[in-house]
Structure 1
Amino acid sequence: MPIRQLPNQLIDQIAAGEVVERPASVVKELVENALDAGATVIDIDVQTGGKKRIKITDNGQGIPEADLAMALQRHATSKIHSLDDLESLLTMGFRGEALPSIASVSRFELISRHQGAEMAYQISAHGGEIDGPKPAAHPVGTTVIVADLFFNTPARRRFLKTDKTEYLRIDELIKRVSLSRFDVTFRLSHNGKMIRNAQGGDTEILRHQRINQLCGKDFIDNAIFITQQRGNLRLSGWVAKPSWNRAQPDRQFFYINQRMIKDKLVGHAIRQAYQDVLFHGRFPAFVLYLEIDPELVDVNVHPTKHEVRFRDSKLVHDFIFGSIHQSLAATRVGAMQESKAEPLPDYSQMQHRMNLSGGGGYGGLGASTPAAGVREASFDYLQQSAQASSQLHTYPVGDAISSPSLPEADGQHQDIPPLGYAKAQIHGVFIIAENQHGLIIVDMHAAHERITYERMKEKFHADALKNQKLLVPIQVNVSAREVGAVESHREWFEQLGFELGVMGEESLVIRKIPAMLANADVENLIKDVLSEIVALGSSQKIEAQINEIMSTMACHGSVRANRQLSIMEMNALLRDMEHTLRSDQCNHGRPTWAQLDMKQLDKLFLRGQ
């Protein structure tokens, strides 16, 4: 067939296939236009899930009469005028495709009154044929009505889901957009019934109300507030504690310069930050805002504008990972009292030391067996660290250890440790303790596992990493870009115990590896690491595999069930927990302790009722 110029109507319908997937896509584009117009109140009214009718009204600055017809032309926009504008975008929309694409597959009507104009004007389009503009009645702002979506493309209409499913997509979209702009009021109605009325305002109460509506009433209570800045990067928002997790990734909201995005690099950085503390098969929850110089991020990489590209992906990845990782490290009881806490005792001076192989105590690797696949040499290398962390240490807390009791006077409450003092042990599994709030229950194995693991990591990072030379070097075939990644990250590989050589444009040789990874599939590990570095600018796969081995060793080296502990030993474990990072959960993400305050205990026994 000869090459022909496509008709404008067909061009618009093809474009609509990229921009308008379903009613929620229409709502997204029109709400973003309203935000760009400076609206502070946006009303969204949909019928039959948006299939029959979508009406969006805003109080923004409106569109002048002279620009109404141009607004429905392809690639016509007021938001960019040059390449410089495109490279430093702060507006939500900018392509100039949304309105003409929507108008080409619906019965479209737009009424707008520009600020300062005496009257409003209306323009309509049915299947792309434009009528108007002509005078109309309307306050300052804009109303867009989209009726009978896909009426002229029935094949695409058949791909739509039920009314309820399409409405729920719109509802989820509005909730997500509303989290990006706390200062804007969003009202959503479906089939004439008001569903959501999120009042705008920049107060903490209103922000928390809006977050609670989306993430659940207890999200804020179980979240850590983050605010970190490095150069042109600033990250703020809330990350849920690892114990408050989800079965699905349905409470994950990330915004870049107020634009909601779903980005692989961002997702990878957040997963890496949670990898040491989250229960397997569960997902973290977060509401996070990244502010970045718009010249350092390209939002023009996908028609729906959900994906972005960073100029320095490694910098952004490491900043997000480091900010969240640092915040999660403080997930331990008493972290808020850190400024009041006494300095850690000098463990080298502690007198009472026991291990599992000798008459009591709550730790020691002496009776443990390395996990399958862990070389004996690797085990020996870190055994000292595990033993040091598992030795029983006493703390200078006075008579409370030998005869645990809480001070009676309220003024003495500040002297009570966050986990209080041990009272008993239940079935050789749980420690029962009393603090100023009520009852504490501790899973002694899970708690000691985390303590042991963290001490092993400290030892690992403090000492020079031992490596071993391979008798037979391993040759690895990789891409040219991955060879370049080895060259640019050579020092990093050496710090982790690897010696890699370049054999050719697409070939490497592994000469030395960390002793701990002697039984690992090093060839595939290096391939995976290089693949991640090329894609994301960095990788934590090596550290993750080393941590996994240490985690297994810590599990085997921790106090086991049915181990009877003395009151002194139990109190020493509680004090260790209060001074150990991430001690709210074990290495596998399970909680290590729980609190039942007096109100909860009273409720159990109907006291005061």
Structure 2
Amino acid sequence: MSAEARTPARVQRLDATLANQIAAGEVVERPASILKELLENSLDAQAARITIHLQAGGMDMLSVEDDGTGINPEDLPLALERHATSKVASWEDLQAIQTMGFRGEALPAIASVARVEILSRTHDSGQGARIAVHGGEQIRLEPAARAPGTTVRVADLFYNVPARRKFLRSPAAELSRVQKVLRQIALANFPIAFQLLQNDRSLVQFPAAHDSAACAARVAAVLGEGFMANALHLEQSDRDLSLRGWLGLPTYNRARGDEQYFFVNGRPVRDPVLTHALRAAYQDVLFQDRHPLYVLYLELPPEQVDVNVHPAKAEVRFRDSRAVHDFLFHTLRRIIAGQGGDLPQVTVPIQPKLQAVTASQDFSAAAVRAPLPYAPSIQQPLSSVGEAQTAAYWEQIVATGTTTGAASLTAEAPLEVQEQHHLSPEYPLGQALAQIHARFIVAQNHEGMILVDQHAAHERILYEKMKKACQLDDKQQFAIPEYLHVTASQLARFEVNQEVLKTAGLDISIAGPGTLAIHGALRSLDPRSYAQLVAELLDAEKPWGQGDVEGDPVLAEMACRAAIKTSRRLTLDEMNSLLRQLEATPRFGQCNHGRPTVVQFSLADLDRLFLRGR
């Protein structure tokens, strides 16, 4: 090896333009990221109206015009230098950031990879100024006419870094990303009016929203009217933490999590602490891999959250992440459980032919459309009666069928015709009248007709009882173990999941080759079904998650398998008892998998269905 090869390279200072281009790799990915930075500058300038112009999805040209405070002419060259900002001046400011921007990196980074022109005028100045920078080099600085505010024009993105431009997608794809950024910013800043134009054609317009109705209209414009019809408005606070916004019902969900908006002190973020708390709150009411919809705003003192942890400011770090997580989880779970008020109406489409009227159970965003002229609305009430009012009735009639007298719920028996009792207003699910195909319970309440999925309803009831039993450690030990012969695959699955089953109340051990001994279980289960239940659990193909006590997937699976099945006929007394117990059960609007348990047709819906009054 030659002497020259062994000589280390000398340390040298990077050229300012090269340093800005390196920084641009973190801040400037595409037109959408440029728009985010420019909009944040306009927000910090207290703009009331912001207009965005695009060409080719922002790749050829992107400009942002606002009516904010403007920039002094002498400060324009400085604004395009790295780490020059008017938003923070000390370490104390950095510890309690209250502006959207603060690093002073965005403008110089953008100017290093595009042709940038800034035109600005302050409100107390009679004349504005224009500065042009191409690839990081200042071209001109001159007086110019403009109304108070600032216009930043970014043209020919990555013209001097062609390798970066190749990573951009089509103009339509880049436009879609730009619109997503605009929706995020618009949802976080209701009092500000926004307009987006491409090639001088208006694509999106959000009028300023100064009252609750206008704010709701903006949310509906972003997420659709279907979301607003299937969302709960909430305002909760606890000490220094406050949460407000709109929480989508579990039955209104999507296959992707692309309609989830969470803001911390007005800043859109994607944080693992927040994501985990939200997912846990929906854990046992959301169907399989579906995703909820929400627009939520978390407010807390700025010194309790650090936003200076990500180049794009998309992540935050909380001083007390556990307190934030627990506040979100318990608040949202309580609201989902029904303690936040009655659910609003959910309108779903039905077939217009009278001989094929159905209520769809697909509550995804694609399924909820404008109702037909006589389409019934579906409502899941969250009113409840006390557990004490129904416990005795339940234990005497229905619980006997699910614990010591399972035959009354599982045997085929003709429906009993009984005189209709008075409909008590205490009972929102009303009085059972009949059963359809041994699958659905038909009931009548003061509002109209109710349909109940008997398996899904009983599944939710059992699940909540099992969770409560686990919390209270309400188990029973057998004087004589119950033995179960298992296959090799079942035994292998048991060995892997023995501890998981134990946390779900099942005390099981290996008694010998191919044999398991069941020593104890939850009291809420039918003693005669333990062996069958364990065998079915060990046959299940899908994996179990660990889960916490309030959302244990093993308990959910046990409840599903122990619940009364479809095709089982119930007496009217059993049906009414099921309704009473369901009313006293948290989250009774959905089963453990997120499917609806109850739908209601109002009298007006039924009249429209049969064209009455025309």
TM-score normalised per structure 1: 0.78
User: 1:601 — aligned with what?
Assistant: 606
Cα–Cα, structure 1 residues 367 and 332, in superposed 2: closer, same or farther, change >3 Å?
A: farther
Note the C-alpha offset of 1:351.
8.5
Note the C-alpha offset of 1:333.
9.6
Corresponding residue to 1:516 among 467, 487, 505: 505
Aligned positions of 1:21-420 closer than 5 A: 21-330=29-338, 343-346=386-389, 349-350=392-393, 353-354=396-397, 363-364=402-403, 402-404=418-420, 415=425, 417-420=427-430
Note the C-alpha offset of 1:566.
2.0
Corresponding residue to 1:562 among 555, 567, 571: 567
Corresponding residue to 2:451 among 423, 435, 441: 441
Note the C-alpha offset of 1:346.
4.7
Q: Are the aligned partners of 1:331 and 1:584 in contact in 2 as well (CA < 8 Å)?
A: no
In structure 1, C-alpha distance between the alignment counterparts of 2:391 and 2:431, rounded to whole Å:
24
Greater displacement, 339-348 / 139-148:
339-348
Note the C-alpha offset of 1:89.
0.2
> Aligned AA for 1:404?
Q
Aligned positions of 1:528-539 closer than 5 A: none
Cα–Cα, structure 1 residues 466 and 146, in superposed 2: closer, same or farther, change >3 Å?
A: farther
Cα–Cα, structure 1 residues 206 and 355, in superposed 2: closer, same or farther, change >3 Å?
A: closer
Q: Are the aligned partners of 2:394 and 2:578 in contact in 1 as well (CA < 8 Å)?
A: no
Q: Are the aligned partners of 1:331 and 1:582 in contact in 2 as well (CA < 8 Å)?
A: no
Q: Are the aligned partners of 2:470 and 2:505 in contact in 1 as well (CA < 8 Å)?
A: no
Cα–Cα, structure 1 residues 111 and 441, in superposed 2: closer, same or farther, change >3 Å?
A: same
Note the C-alpha offset of 1:345.
3.8
In structure 2, C-alpha distance between the alignment counterparts of 1:225 and 1:542, rounded to whole Å:
28
In structure 2, C-alpha distance between the alignment counterparts of 1:571 and 1:585, rounded to whole Å:
19
In structure 2, C-alpha distance between the alignment counterparts of 1:240 and 1:455, rounded to whole Å:
26
Q: Are the aligned partners of 1:334 and 1:418 in contact in 2 as well (CA < 8 Å)?
A: no
Report the count of equivalent residues.
Answer: 508
> Aligned AA for 2:291?
F
Cα–Cα, structure 1 residues 517 and 117, in superposed 2: closer, same or farther, change >3 Å?
A: farther
User: 2:520 — aligned with what?
Assistant: none
- Tell whether 2:464 aligns with 1:454: yes
In structure 2, C-alpha distance between the alignment counterparts of 1:568 and 1:334, rounded to whole Å:
27
Cα–Cα, structure 1 residues 466 and 68, in superposed 2: closer, same or farther, change >3 Å?
A: farther
Cα–Cα, structure 1 residues 66 and 579, in superposed 2: closer, same or farther, change >3 Å?
A: same
1:79-98, CA deviations, whole angstroms, 9 ceiling, x for partnerless residues? 00111111100100111000
Secondary structure, counterpart of 2:102 in structure 1: coil
In structure 1, C-alpha distance between the alignment counterparts of 2:152 and 2:395, rounded to whole Å:
76
Cα–Cα, structure 1 residues 449 and 365, in superposed 2: closer, same or farther, change >3 Å?
A: farther
Q: Are the aligned partners of 1:123 and 1:134 in contact in 2 as well (CA < 8 Å)?
A: yes
Cα–Cα, structure 1 residues 335 and 305, in superposed 2: closer, same or farther, change >3 Å?
A: closer
Q: Are the aligned partners of 1:333 and 1:419 in contact in 2 as well (CA < 8 Å)?
A: no
In structure 2, C-alpha distance between the alignment counterparts of 1:338 and 1:277, rounded to whole Å:
15
Cα–Cα, structure 1 residues 185 and 347, in superposed 2: closer, same or farther, change >3 Å?
A: closer
- Tell whether 2:552 aligns with 1:547: yes
Cα–Cα, structure 1 residues 331 and 164, in superposed 2: closer, same or farther, change >3 Å?
A: farther
User: 1:483 — aligned with what?
Assistant: none
Note the C-alpha offset of 1:466.
9.4
Note the C-alpha offset of 1:271.
0.5
In structure 2, C-alpha distance between the alignment counterparts of 1:8 and 1:340, rounded to whole Å:
65
User: 1:592 — aligned with what?
Assistant: 597
1:461-508, CA deviations, whole angstroms, 9 ceiling, x for partnerless residues? 2347899xxxxxxxxxxxxxxxxxxxxxxxxxxxxxxxxxxxxxxxxx
> Aligned AA for 1:73?
E
Secondary structure, counterpart of 1:75 in structure 2: coil
> Aligned AA for 2:335?
S
User: 1:473 — aligned with what?
Assistant: none
In structure 1, runs of 5+ residues without a counterpart are 369-386, 392-400, 408-413, 468-509, 521-539
Note the C-alpha offset of 1:606.
4.2
> Aligned AA for 1:403?
E
Cα–Cα, structure 1 residues 341 and 163, in superposed 2: closer, same or farther, change >3 Å?
A: closer
- Tell whether 2:608 aligns with 1:575: no
Secondary structure, counterpart of 1:218 in structure 2: helix
Note the C-alpha offset of 1:607.
4.2
Secondary structure, counterpart of 2:173 in structure 1: helix
Q: Are the aligned partners of 1:406 and 1:435 in contact in 2 as well (CA < 8 Å)?
A: no
Secondary structure, counterpart of 2:552 in structure 1: helix
In structure 2, C-alpha distance between the alignment counterparts of 1:332 and 1:127, rounded to whole Å:
55
Q: Are the aligned partners of 2:384 and 2:583 in contact in 1 as well (CA < 8 Å)?
A: no
Greater displacement, 44-53 / 567-576:
567-576
Q: Are the aligned partners of 1:423 and 1:432 in contact in 2 as well (CA < 8 Å)?
A: yes
Note the C-alpha offset of 1:329.
1.0
Secondary structure, counterpart of 1:134 in structure 2: strand
Secondary structure, counterpart of 1:182 in structure 2: coil
1:65-87, CA deviations, whole angstroms, 9 ceiling, x for partnerless residues? 11111000011000001111111
> Aligned AA for 2:419?
S
Note the C-alpha offset of 1:121.
0.5
In structure 1, C-alpha distance between the alignment counterparts of 2:173 and 2:343, rounded to whole Å:
43
Cα–Cα, structure 1 residues 353 and 113, in superposed 2: closer, same or farther, change >3 Å?
A: same
> Aligned AA for 2:218?
R
Cα–Cα, structure 1 residues 167 and 592, in superposed 2: closer, same or farther, change >3 Å?
A: same
Cα–Cα, structure 1 residues 600 and 348, in superposed 2: closer, same or farther, change >3 Å?
A: closer
In structure 1, C-alpha distance between the alignment counterparts of 2:465 and 2:260, rounded to whole Å:
32
Cα–Cα, structure 1 residues 58 and 466, in superposed 2: closer, same or farther, change >3 Å?
A: farther
Note the C-alpha offset of 1:297.
0.9
In structure 2, C-alpha distance between the alignment counterparts of 1:602 and 1:424, rounded to whole Å:
21
Q: Are the aligned partners of 2:247 and 2:296 in contact in 1 as well (CA < 8 Å)?
A: yes
Note the C-alpha offset of 1:553.
2.5
Note the C-alpha offset of 1:325.
0.9
1:493-540, CA deviations, whole angstroms, 9 ceiling, x for partnerless residues? xxxxxxxxxxxxxxxxx9xx75837679xxxxxxxxxxxxxxxxxxx9
Cα–Cα, structure 1 residues 333 and 546, in superposed 2: closer, same or farther, change >3 Å?
A: closer
Q: Are the aligned partners of 1:364 and 1:558 in contact in 2 as well (CA < 8 Å)?
A: no
In structure 1, C-alpha distance between the alignment counterparts of 2:609 and 2:82, rounded to whole Å:
66
TM-score normalised per structure 2: 0.77
1:545-599, CA deviations, whole angstroms, 9 ceiling, x for partnerless residues? 9722322222232222222222222122222222211000111111101122344
> Aligned AA for 1:50?
G
In structure 2, C-alpha distance between the alignment counterparts of 1:190 and 1:434, rounded to whole Å:
55
Secondary structure, counterpart of 2:505 in structure 1: helix
In structure 1, C-alpha distance between the alignment counterparts of 2:70 and 2:282, rounded to whole Å:
45
Note the C-alpha offset of 1:44.
0.7
Secondary structure, counterpart of 1:330 in structure 2: helix
In structure 1, C-alpha distance between the alignment counterparts of 2:463 and 2:42, rounded to whole Å:
52
Aligned positions of 1:414-433 closer than 5 A: 415=425, 417-433=427-443
Q: Are the aligned partners of 2:459 and 2:559 in contact in 1 as well (CA < 8 Å)?
A: yes
In structure 1, C-alpha distance between the alignment counterparts of 2:577 and 2:506, rounded to whole Å:
34
Q: Are the aligned partners of 2:469 and 2:475 in contact in 1 as well (CA < 8 Å)?
A: no
User: 1:504 — aligned with what?
Assistant: none
Aligned positions of 1:471-490 closer than 5 A: none
